[in-house]
Structure formats: C-alpha cells, structure tokens
Chain A
Amino acid sequence: MSETLDHIASAARTDAPPAILLDKVNKWYGALHVLRDVSLNVALGERVVVCGPSGSGKSTMIRCINRLETHQEGTIKVNGIELSDDLKALDDIRREVGMVFQSFNLFPHLTILENCTLAPIWVRRMPKKEAEELAMHYLTRVRIPEQAKKYPGQLSGGQQQRVAIARALCMKPKIMLFDEPTSALDPEMIKEVLDTMVGLAETGMTMICVTHEMGFARQVADRVVFMDRGEIVEIGEPNHLFENPQTERLKTFLSQILRGH
C-alpha cells in the first residue's frame, strides 16, 4: 500500500503546475447554491473519481472545468490557463480537455468515423486522411473499428459510449472528464466501457471521473472525492476512504451504494 501512496505523492510533488486547479469555486443556479467553496488540485497524470448523492453538484463541478457552465466566484485553472470570458483561452482549454457524457451525445447525422474526425478536421485542421487514420487507431483501441461506417443509432449503448470515448480521444486531450459514463447502460455493457476506461488510465491520462462504480475507483483512482450538497466533504485514497469514512454523510452514502448493488 505504501508503494502506491509513494507513487501518488511523487506525482503530486512534481514542480509542473497542476493539470486542474479549483480554488474556492462557488456557483449558484438562481438562489440555489450548487458549488460551495470547492477546492481541488489534480496533478498531471492523476486519476480522480468523484462520487456523491444525486444532485450534489458533481456534474456541475466537472462541467465548470471545460466551461459548459460558468462559475461565479473563485478560480479554475486548466494547464495553468485561467478560465474567464476570454474566448481564446476557452478554445485552448476545450482542445486540451475531452469530455464523455452520461447520454453519449453522439451526432446522429454523422457516421461513427465522421463523429470521430469532425473535431480534428475543423478544430485541429488536420488533413482528412490523417484524421481518419487517427480515428481508426482510437476506434481500434476501444475495440470497435468494424463499426466505423455505421450510424450511432445502429449501435448498442455500450458501443456508443466507447465511440464517444474514442471521439474525445481523437482530439488528443491531456485531460479527460467523464460524467457518469456508465449510468445509462445496461449491466452487461458497463464492463466493456469500464475496461476501456481502465485501459485509458493505464496510459497515464489525467482523468476526472464521476461514477459510483466502486470497483473501478479502487482499481484506478489515485484519489476519491466525495461531494454532498455542493461541497467536497472528504478526499482520500480510495481504499482508505471507503473503509474509514470520517463523516456520517459518507457513511450513509456508502451504505446506500452497497445496498443498491
């Protein structure tokens, strides 16, 4: 156990700026305070799993990181670039950060291959041939190269989610955000998506992943963040956190999760 801890610690102690920095981030929807003084550092190469009851602000937090939502107080820095109204900075950040949604959000009017090459061609200005090779590379990595010519509607949920992962990877992001990527899937498909994500974690990708899959968290997470009612309640190494919850809230949450599974 101490080995893994050393590894994490050294990853965090490098002098490089943290991949993601949230400092006292606050956000409201109208009068609803959805993020309360959220502070979090994610080092380059670190894998963080975020869990917490539904409505606790997990999605809101990671959507603030690529500015699908705007925060109102505090600072968010991605790769040292601060998120603000500056559109140039926003473009840079969106290129560095890939995102996978709960509901896949594949583009139904484009083939799988076109879904993957769209952004490389239009954003990275990559030649089509190169973009297609890249797309095929990642589609092979998520183990569905043979579906490239099909449309999203012709694929199963698990396959669609793997395409969504490949689509995000085609932008060669340095950071990947996952918002409950397996919650919309049938049990037998969850594993294929999780396996893909484990494979991705092994390449050293920086990841923030909202999920309730405990096994996945134990296997790949360097740290687990537990959120409740808009705030980060506990942060810690997964086994430790799950075995020694410090707060009532986490205890209740864990018992509910375990009962649910």
Chain B
Amino acid sequence: MSDITLNASAKVAEAAPRSAPISQVGFVGWMRANLFSGWLSTAVTLLLAYMIVRWAIGFVDWAFINAVWSVPNNQTQACRDLRGTGACWAVITEKHRFILFGTYPYEEHWRPALCIALFVGLYIVSAMRRFWRKELALIWVGVLTLIGVLMWGGVLGMPYVPQERWGGLVITLILATFGLALAFPLAILVALGRRSKLPAIKALCVLYVELIRGVPLISLLFMASVMFPLFLPEGMNIDKLLRAQLAIILFAGAYLAEVVRGGLQSLSKGQYEAADALGLSYWQKTGFIILPQALRLVIPPLVNTFIGFFKDTSLVLIIGIFDLLTAGKTAIIEPAWQGFGIEVYLTVGAIYFIFCFAMSKYSQGLEAELNRHRAR
C-alpha cells in the first residue's frame, strides 16, 4: 500500500487564508467584475461612458454656462440670440409665480403656498406608520377643510377668491388629494361588492369597474365638461373644477377598487372562517378583521396608484382647467415668451418628479419592509 491517502485518513497541510489576487478585490476587483468583465462588457462601458460625458457636457453648457437667467421687462431678444445653444431660464424667473399659483390674486399668494405646505405635511403624516390609526381620517378631514377655507377665504379678514381664479400646483394637489380621499371609500364599497355573493350587487360593481377601466380618462373628462350640464335639472349648475373632480373620483374609484380587491383576495381563507366562527356579522367581520389587514397589505400598490392619479390630473389641461401643467403651457402663450417650452416643461417636470419620486421611493421601501415582515 503505497498510496497513503487511500488506506489511512491523512491530515492535509493547512493552507493559510490568502487574500484574493489584487485583480479580484477592492476597487479594481469591483471595476473588473462590474464594468470590464469581458470584451463586450468593456465595449458597452466605454461607449456608455463616452455618451454620458458628451451629453453631460452639452447639458451643462446649455443649462448653465450659456444660459440667460433674467431679462429686463420681457425683452427676450437676448434669449432668442442664443438660438438654442443656451437655456432661457429668464422665462422661469419671470413666470414662476404664475406657474405655481395661476391667476390667484398676487397679494394673496401666501394662501395657496400655505395650502401646498399643508398638503405636503398631510402626505408626510400619512406616510408615518405611527399615524396609521382611525384618527388619521379625522386629520384628513380637518386639513382638507382648512385648505378649503384658505383657498376660498371670505372669513377671518381673508378676501373671497372665486374658484375660477385658482390655479397652478395647488389645483394639481387638490384634484389628486380630494380625488383619493373621496374615491377611497367608494373603492372599498365597490371592492366588497365585487366579492359579494349577491349577484345583482356583484354585477353592478363589475360593470362599473370594467366600464371605467375600458375607456380613457379623457373621455370621462369630456363627459364631465360637456355632458354633465345636461344631466342636472335646469338652473342647477356645478363649477367646472368640481365636475372634473367628480370625473377623477369616478375614475380613481374603479382603479382603487381593483387594488383593494387584490388585498381582499390575498387574505387567507382562514381569516374569514375564523371571523365567521366567532359569530361576527358581515359588517363586523369586514370592519374589524378583513379590511384592517387587507388595507395594510395593499399600501404599496395604493401609493403606486396614487402616483398614477397624481400624473393623470394633468389631463385636465385638455378641458381647460388651470392645473400646474396648464399654467406652464399658458405661461408661454404670450408672444414674447413663445418658443421656450423646453425650459418651462423641464421645470414643471421637476416639480412633478419631486412628488412622484418621493412617493415611489416610499412605496418601494414600504414594500421591502412588508416583505421582510412576511418572510419572518
């Protein structure tokens, strides 16, 4: 028996842990693994890096170095002389109040500004887990009432401002937030109805959801703007903003209902059976056991749906309501400022982006957290 490893167990000399070859670790290793792992990857990296650098230089040139930041009383000749080589931020300097607040009286701009702050505060409070209690509904009612008082005025020495003069970012926030607040209860009812055992109620809910989801929002907004006046008895008239708001609620209700239904479906059957076994009535079962769990589950998709509405409120532009996007578009109608759409849309886009990005990051974080909970 010459082969010692075969007939007796043998201790093998211990190899000391070595650090990886320099090409495997640290910054170099990371670059090799993630940027230059083969000739194809290297080519892609170099090409992309080249394009990014070129684009970034071009953008910095346009947006900062060659840009015009302000012009004296609407003399836009300086901007036009740039011929597209530089941005004309003067249009923002000049029109930012109009874009944010529309035709709201100039001296009263602090009121919509305060409303915007209230909206943001409301979102932040709603995002915090600590406040996910029944009292949150009260906070919403309170803040939304306060916003209504601030916008209309007519009390506490604030002059009355009619709805036709409201405009800008605050309209976008109003349409989205009131839309969500009022569509939500509707959505819960419809979602429950769609899962109900009563055929007539189920059919009605299915019809509503599928009809609304089958048509574009624009057609509902058109309906609100041209058909709605025909629906009401003679002499009764509803403001255009309110009509658009109604259309958005109807629209949001159908989509939210589907999200809520997803949550109801993902609850285990055991929860329903346990509630039945305790002898709870339908409404007790729904209110105490089912909804609290289902709604918690669907918060991330709810936030995503809300991002969708927030963006979709911009469609009211088509029926001529003065939201953020309409204000931006109107700001450049004036002949002096025509042709500076890119600057305005970039600015308006940045505002939309801040809101949507914050919400989307929040929903992603929440989802990860919920998944971790469920895995445990």
Measured CB to CB, the residues of A under 8 A from B are 5, 8-9, 12-13, 26, 28, 30-31, 33, 36-37, 72-73, 223, 229-237, 240-241, 244-247
Contact = CB atoms under 8 A, between A and B. Distances in A.
Contacts of A30: 20, 24-25, 29
B14 A231 contact: yes
- By Cβ-Cβ distance, the 9 closest A-B pairs, closest first, are A236-B9, A28-B20, A241-B9, A37-B15, A36-B15, A31-B25, A246-B11, A33-B17, A240-B9
A36 B20 CA distance: 10
A160 B21 CA distance: 41
Contacts of A73: 21
Interface residues of B, number: 21
Chain A interface, >50% SS class: mixed
Contacts of B21: 28, 72-73
Given A30-B25, A33-B19, A72-B24, A234 B9 contact: yes
B373 interface: no
B7 A9 contact: yes
Contacts of A241: 9
Contacts of B81: none
Contacts of A231: 12, 14-15
B25 to A, nearest CB: 4
Contacts of B1: 5, 9
Contacts, number: 75
A26 B15 CA distance: 11
A37 B13 CA distance: 10
Contacts of A237: 6-9
A214 to B, nearest CB: 15
A235 B15 contact: no
Contacts of A234: 9-12
Nearest to B12: A232
B18 interface: yes
A114 B181 CA distance: 53
Contacts of A235: 5, 9-10, 12
18 contacts: A5-B6, A28-B20, A28-B21, A30-B29, A31-B20, A31-B25, A36-B17, A229-B17, A231-B14, A233-B11, A234-B10, A236-B8, A236-B10, A240-B7, A240-B8, A240-B9, A246-B9, A247-B11
A111 B11 CA distance: 47
